[in-house]
Structure formats: structure tokens, C-alpha cells
Structure 1
Amino acid sequence: MARRSSQFICQSCGAVSSKWTGRCEPCGEWNSIIEEQTGAGIGGGPGKPPRSKGRVVELVGLQGDAKEAPRIQAKVAELDRVTGGGFVKGSALLVGGDPGIGKSTLLIQAAAALANLGHRTVYISGEEAIGQVRLRAERLGLAQAPVALAAETSVEDILATLEASPPPALLILDSIQTLWTDQVDSTPGTVTQVRASAQAMVRYAKRTGTTLVLVGHVTKDGQIAGPRVVEHMVDAVLYFEGDGAHQYRILRSVKNRFGATDEIGVFEMTGKGLVEVANPSALFLGDRSTTAPGAAVFAGLEGSRPLLIEVQALVAQSSLGTPRRAVIGWDSARLSMILAVLEARCGVRFSQHDVYLNVAGGLKINEPGADLAVAAALISSLSGLALPANCVYFGEISLSGAIRPVAQAPARLKEAQKLGFEQAYCPEGNLKDKMANGFSATGLPELGDFVAKLAVRSGASPQD
């Protein structure tokens, strides 16, 4: 019986099936399964001829000389922070982000910075013509940077071009979804092509010591398009986040084999390109109102960087049978939990009110330490009483109403003191940490104690 020369592969998760179906069972996506030819591809596969004999690989112990990975710094402080101190030679990075968010702008600026430092950089665009890239470089004032530029999508042509000259220090491919290899009989952008093309380019980077940066498209859910196996093939995955209505951009590390994960770099989009934001806390709090109720300053932590963020809440009387809950920049399920704890443990009623929550500046908070700041903003908006302008809040709230300690409280308080804040409400368990001099920190064991303190200030009962 002849072997099938094609497979049906889901373009969302990469699952392989023997026949076409309307819905992919592993990921649940509809109309995402496409028939693709099964070829050996670059790097081998089912059709690759077997070796006659394998080679013996040397086995070594865990002890030995472990040297720090050599790096090259772009002298862009925010980019070097996210990568863990600079680009590691021979590493592969995957950068994802929404269309138009500034991925190409950031990478052309990084390429120009390295080129001006004497490192050979190559920028290959698969989406734009050479003229378009030159116009962007001219607008950014980078036209004089010695960056080697090409517009090509064939993997074989790219590799032949790179082999004809000394290997570059930095190679940028924009984007991985546009590359194709003639050793795989599939259209560009499919799972088979993306996987084979990425594997060929990563192998080149490991062999020559070139730092490889791949740009990836994202889906409507914000995830990098294509199979997840591509994220496993690279050494670091960076997401470029931001809102088109705001000028701030966040470069976030979600995977890094040579540095810390969950590290962020903050940029501001201007007419001259992306500008580093050395003190993002001051920038995000610059336009806040200190007299309006419903606003609380959260002393957060993004990776190793303390960050002060304003949390805004609006509680309004509802005319609907089911009050509305709207959240921007935070987890809606966690908001529902905080509201339930306030009602069940503290007697604060929200069942007849619409609740709107927003994180200022277009940021997204994933840290549970923001629970106390959210609760403070909700109670402030419900009571109509503005919170103290010189106070910050942080702490995780449990279902029992207890306020649990969070990590690196001294760093949060030090950042708050640097920006002129004088007091903080925090978990009681964090008071044993060394606090900054001249800073007043009030420890809270239970959420009910915090509600009672606010009720005393307003001269009302917690239910009002």
C-alpha cells in the first residue's frame, strides 16, 4: 500500500490528523486544518533518508567550567534589560506584536545601534521592499548606519547570501511567516513551512555564532501565530505590547534561556521613533488627579523592575437586572473575586452597581499583588471619598479576606518614596522586611480592617 504524501495540519496548534475535519479537536479552532505535502524539509522528517551509522557522542558530567554566555550590547538600555544584558551570540529570539505596534521600528533602531558600534548587522525583510525600509530609516534618522539590507523570502537564497560573506553579529528576519523553502511543498505561512524555515535559520545561527531575531505575526488573541514548536526552538520570546491610543510600548520577555523572564522594557513612540523611558513610574503617574475618588496607586513589580501604576475604578448605580462588569488591563475573573470577597467578608454591597475598572497608561497587570489597590479604588468610588494622594497600595487578597504578603516589598516602597509618596497600605506579613527611612507603612491582616479604616475617615458605615 502506497504511503500518503500529504497530511492535514492545524494552522493554529500544529496538530496532525489523517483526514480533514471542520474543527480541530486539540485546540477547538474551526476551519484551521489545511492539507499539506509531507516532505523531508530542511532538517529532515519522515521522508529523510536514514543514516547508515550514527556517531558516538561524548558524555560528560555536571561538573566543569561553566562560562558566562558572550553577549553584544546594543546600548539601548531597555532592550538590553529585557534580553538579560544584551544579545547572546548564537542565540535565536522571536519577537511578536500586533500589526503597526512598532516591531520593525524597534529592530531597525537596534540594528543601527549595533552597526554604529562596529558590529556587522543584516536586516532581511520579507514583507516590505527595500525602498520602504530605507524610508523608515530616513524618517528615524538612521540612513547613515552601515546596516546590510535585503528583501528576500527564499530560505535557500538567504543562506547562500549569508555564506558568501563573513557571518554577521546580528541577523533580523521580518517576518518568519513570509519565509519559504523549496524542500517543503506547502505555501508560505503554513505550519510546515514556518517550522522548516525557522529550523534552517536557527541551525545557521548556532553554527556561526550569529544572533538571530525572528519577527512573528500574532493572532487575534495576541499569541504568536503558527505552531508553538517555533517558540520551543528559539532561546527567547519577546512580546511587544501597547495600545494604539497610547504612545507607550512595553517589550516583555516571556521566555529567556539566558536571563530573567517577565522582564519589561518601556518605550515611548514619537515622531522620531521609539524613545526609552528610564523612569516609567513618573511617566504613568504624571497626569493623575489626586482629588477624584476611585483612583489608587499600585506599587507593582514587573520582573525585577518596581513600577507604580494608577488603578481607576468607577462604581455607578445600575438600572439593569444584572449589573455590568467591565475591565481593561486586568483579569475580569479576579475582579469578580474581589467583589465577592468585599460583599461576603466586609459587607460592602456591589450587587446593584455597575463596576468599571481601568489600568492607566494602557498597561496590563498580571500580578495578584494588585488586589488591595483594586479593592481600595472600588471602595473609594463607591463611597465618593478620594484616597490620600501620597499613599500606595499592594497586597494579595485571599478568599477568606486575609491579605497575604507579596515579594520584594522593600523595592516597591523604595520606588514609591523616590517619587514622593510617604505612606503605604500593605500586608502585615511584609512589615518584617526592612523599610525605607522616613516612610510610613501600615500593615493589614484582613481586608475588613482596611474597609473599617476607610469608613472611619469618611464617617460612614462600610455598607453605605
Structure 2
Amino acid sequence: MARTATRYVCQSCGSVQAKWVGQCPDCSEWNTLQQEAAAVVTPFAAKHSLAGGGRVLELARLDSEVALPARASTGIAELDRALGGGLVPGSAVLIGGDPGIGKSTLLLQAAGRMASAGLGVAYISGEEAADQVRLRARRLGLAKAPVALASATSVRDVLTTLASGRPPALLVIDSIQTMHSDTLEGAPGTVSQVRAAAMELIRYAKSSGCAVVLVGHVTKDGQIAGPRVLEHMVDTVLYFEGERSHQYRILRAVKNRFGGTDEIGVFAMGQEGLEEVTNPSTLFLTARDRPVSGSVVFPALEGTRPVMVEIQALVVRVATGATPRRAVVGWDSSRLAMILAVLEARCGLSLSTCEVYLNVAGGLKVNDPAADMAVAAALISALTEIPFPIDAVAMGEIALSGEVRPVSHAALRLKEAAKLGFHEALIPAGGAAVKGMKPATFRALGQLVDHLTGRA
């Protein structure tokens, strides 16, 4: 007779252990292992071969004609941009973000606009009652939108209800951690329940052609709670970034099977919900009426969208013997340490006895290596107290040898800068020339130091 085995699954990383321990040996989280029933293994199942007994699959050629998927607009241009042009029928989208960031507000606005456009929309809330969602819709001006609304946590009830009628064009599940499948034991939110509920909803999306949007909770590290396999199961993963005390929100695509990644949509939280920001460069630039030392504009590239970002640096000398502090907001602290080392070793600037503070204005997080030159220019300007030109931008990647390397899509970045009124560009040698922009090219970081300090 088959014996039922038990296992312990970590609710943080999904690792499986044979016995319970207080700390997960894989992710080092405490008290995250929960007991689950393992699959029943019989001697017949262990010895049975899978080489026969199944159906023969029809293998297609790689060069077969494939039509591009049709997309449905959500009625929100910034959301469509992050999705790659709109919702693809039959796709599964996972959206995560901190509590109170605006996930439910954004999806309710999209659901209301799609329903008002004549598309079928179903909104299933597992965290709020139906009346609470109606009150929010009234505040957003969507009280008359024909959205099918329900409050449920059973996946069986949801799929049974949807199977009784015509499949909607959009199904919103808020949130996936509250859904429960009665085919498995365990409380909602556990690894097995999240995986099973998501699999059933994704299977419904693929079979019916309905686009399913799942809302996911995030951990204290900003990652979507539950196993990372949930991100592999869906077609698109979106993260909602921003501070609750700040009115601006950034919707970033980190995975998209039907479009490019790293696309962003920018929103501003207003009295009537989330409002689109069509020109995000104005958000990340402070009032630039006079030159200020340590302030440099960098033409960043978020997906296919160029965005002007202001890099702010402050250099303060400390007393002899004190340990200088390095504080970074919106950039990689390890990359800042590398830039400081190159400035000191290759350019002769004394920064080891200075406290260095670096900030990306507007709350944007920059991961582009092309920002190296802008950061270096901001540090040089802050150290020498020589203001950077107010109508200039800087970009370029810096090597450990002090060489300044070209960046990708330089012409696209500079065209956006010229459109916003910038006239000078500090770029690597051999960079693209753009009408209206006066280039100043550099092959080494030392040439940039000489240019900014007037020693050229």
C-alpha cells in the first residue's frame, strides 16, 4: 500500500525540506517552513515508463507563418506602453507593488474604461467587499461603468461563474494570494495554493482567450511574495514603484513575452485616481533657473523611452581620521565606489577623505551604465564647486582604465535632450551628431576633468 509522505516547503523561496527546521537553509528566513502532503509514490508509478501511452503531438515547422497577436487597449496609454501596446487575448499578467501604491486603483480604472468601450470585464476582489470596490469606483468617476464585480476567494466558484457565460475580455484577480483551490490542502497564500490557483486561472485564460491580470503582494525586499515560479508561469510581469508619500508612480515591465522589457509608464496620483504623465522628463528635473555645482542632467533610456534625469552630488570634506560616508539614492553604490576609485587613481582627484552623497532626482532608479559619465561630472563639479553648464547633458560608460566608452542609442537620447532645450552634450569620442546639439567628445576621464575645471 502506498504510504503518504510529508514534506516541508519554504513559503519565502519555495525550497523543499525533508523535516522541519527553524531557519530555511536556502534563503535563511526564519519560521517559513510549512508542512504539505507530498505526491503518493507507488512501486508501479516509480517503474512505469512514460515513453508510451500518450497522444502523438503534431510538430510544426519553425518557419511557419504566425500572425501577430491582436491587442486590446486598456484606455490608459501609459499602461499600454508598459504592456507593449495593450493586452494580448489569452495572456496572463502579474502586477506587484507595495501596499497602497495604487495597483487596485490602476486596474479598476483600466477595467472601467475597457467596459465603457464595450468590452466584457470581470473584477474579482478577494480582499475587499463588493461595496468597498463600488465606493472606490465612485470616487474615480467610474460608478456607471458596466464592470461585472464579485467578491470571492474560491477558484472553483470563480471559474464556474465564468464558464456559465461568455468569456470576458479582461479578468482581474485582486489578489492571487487570497485565492484558494479546494483540490489542495493548505491556507490561502501558501506556496502550493498560490501555484495551484495561478495555474488554474492561466489555464482558463489560454483556453478561453480572456486576458487575466493577477495582483501579487510583495515582500519587504520588494519581490512578489510566493515562489519565483509564479513569475515564470505568467506572460508579463509588471512592478509598480514609488513612495506612498510621493505622488508619482512608475509602472515597470520586467518580463514580457509579447513585447520589450524595461518599458515604463509614469503616473501621478491625483484626486481622481492615477493620471498619466506624458512627458516624464519634467518630473525628474528640478527648477533649473541657475547653474548649481554637483547637478548634471543625464539622458536615460527606459525601454524605448528617453527620459531626462538629474544626477545630484554633494562632496563634503571630513576631519582627519574620520571615516567618510558614502550614501546613494537611486543608483548602484558599488558602481559609485568604482567611479570614485577611477577619479582618484586615474585623474588625481582626492576623494578618499570626503563624504560623498549621490541622489537621482524624482525617485527614479537608474541602472544604465551610460550614467557613469554624468555621475563623474557631478562629483567633479561638487568637489571643485564649479557649476555644470545648465544647458548641457552628459553620458558615457567609464572603464577601470579611465577610458570613456560609447553608449547605446546615443542619437535617440540626444534628440530628446535637444527637444527639451539642451544645446550641449558631453559624450564619448565617436558619438553620433544630432542637429541642435553641440558635442564635446572625450576619450578618457582625465579629459573630462580638464574640460570641467578649465585646464583644457
TM-score range, shorter chain: over 0.9
Query: Which shows bigger deviation, 75-84 or 357-366?
Result: 75-84
Match of 2:134 in 1: 134
Match of 2:444 in 1: 446
Give 2:357's aligned amino acid.
Answer: Y
Partners of 1:392 and 1:160 in 2: CA distance? 57
Q: Residues 116-155 of structure 1: matches in 2 within 5 Å?
A: 116-155=116-155
Query: Which shows bigger deviation, 277-286 or 264-273?
Result: 277-286
Match of 1:181 in 2: 181
Match of 2:399 in 1: 398
Give 1:247's aligned amino acid.
Answer: Q
| Structure-2 change in CA distance of 1:157 and 1:397 (3 Å) | same
Residue 2 of structure 1 deviates from its aligned partner by 5.3
Structure-1-length-normalised TM-score: 0.93
Residue 427 of structure 1 deviates from its aligned partner by 1.1
| Structure-2 change in CA distance of 1:312 and 1:140 (3 Å) | same
Partners of 2:165 and 2:39 in 1: CA distance? 30
Partners of 1:294 and 1:411 in 2: CA distance? 25
Residue 298 of structure 1 deviates from its aligned partner by 0.5
Give 1:315's aligned amino acid.
Answer: V
Q: How big is each residue's C-alpha offset from its partner over 1:6-53, in whole Å with a ceiling of 9 and x where there is no partner?
A: 21001111111111122222333332221123469xxxx99xxx9993
Residue 157 of structure 1 deviates from its aligned partner by 0.7
Partners of 1:184 and 1:446 in 2: CA distance? 62
| Structure-2 change in CA distance of 1:280 and 1:205 (3 Å) | same
Match of 1:418 in 2: 419
Partners of 1:32 and 1:429 in 2: CA distance? 54
| Structure-2 change in CA distance of 1:289 and 1:332 (3 Å) | farther
Query: Which shows bigger deviation, 261-270 or 278-287?
Result: 278-287
Match of 2:30 in 1: 30
Match of 1:437 in 2: 435
Assess if the C-alpha contact under 8 Å between 1:404 and 1:429 holds in 2: no
Q: How big is each residue's C-alpha offset from its partner over 1:113-165, in whole Å with a ceiling of 9 and x where there is no partner?
A: 11111100011111111111111111111111111111101111111111111
Assess if the C-alpha contact under 8 Å between 2:115 and 2:145 holds in 1: yes
Assess if the C-alpha contact under 8 Å between 1:9 and 1:15 holds in 2: yes
Match of 2:294 in 1: 294
What's the secondary structure of 1:260's corresponding residue? coil
| Structure-2 change in CA distance of 1:395 and 1:281 (3 Å) | same
Give 1:376's aligned amino acid.
Answer: A
CA RMSD of aligned residues (A): 1.9
What's the secondary structure of 2:101's corresponding residue? coil
Q: How big is each residue's C-alpha offset from its partner over 1:284-338, in whole Å with a ceiling of 9 and x where there is no partner?
A: 2253463221111011100000010001111112246221011111111111111
What's the secondary structure of 2:416's corresponding residue? helix
Q: Would you say how many aligned residue pairs link Structure 1 and Structure 2?
A: 448
Partners of 1:312 and 1:204 in 2: CA distance? 49
Partners of 2:426 and 2:322 in 1: CA distance? 35
Partners of 1:81 and 1:192 in 2: CA distance? 33
Partners of 1:283 and 1:96 in 2: CA distance? 23
Query: Which shows bigger deviation, 312-321 or 356-365?
Result: 312-321
What's the secondary structure of 2:124's corresponding residue? strand
Partners of 2:178 and 2:448 in 1: CA distance? 55
Match of 2:165 in 1: 165
Give 1:397's aligned amino acid.
Answer: I
Match of 1:409 in 2: 410
Residue 256 of structure 1 deviates from its aligned partner by 0.3
Partners of 2:217 and 2:331 in 1: CA distance? 24
Give 2:441's aligned amino acid.
Answer: G
Partners of 1:90 and 1:262 in 2: CA distance? 22
| Structure-2 change in CA distance of 1:142 and 1:51 (3 Å) | farther
| % identical aligned pairs | 58
Partners of 1:290 and 1:136 in 2: CA distance? 43
Q: How big is each residue's C-alpha offset from its partner over 1:389-440, in whole Å with a ceiling of 9 and x where there is no partner?
A: 000011111111111111000111100000100001011132xx3x222210
Partners of 1:5 and 1:258 in 2: CA distance? 41
Structure-2-length-normalised TM-score: 0.95
Query: Which shows bigger deviation, 276-285 or 84-93?
Result: 276-285
Assess if the C-alpha contact under 8 Å between 1:39 and 1:185 holds in 2: no
Partners of 2:380 and 2:304 in 1: CA distance? 30
Runs of 5+ unmatched residues, structure 1: 460-464
Partners of 2:378 and 2:33 in 1: CA distance? 46
Give 2:323's aligned amino acid.
Answer: T
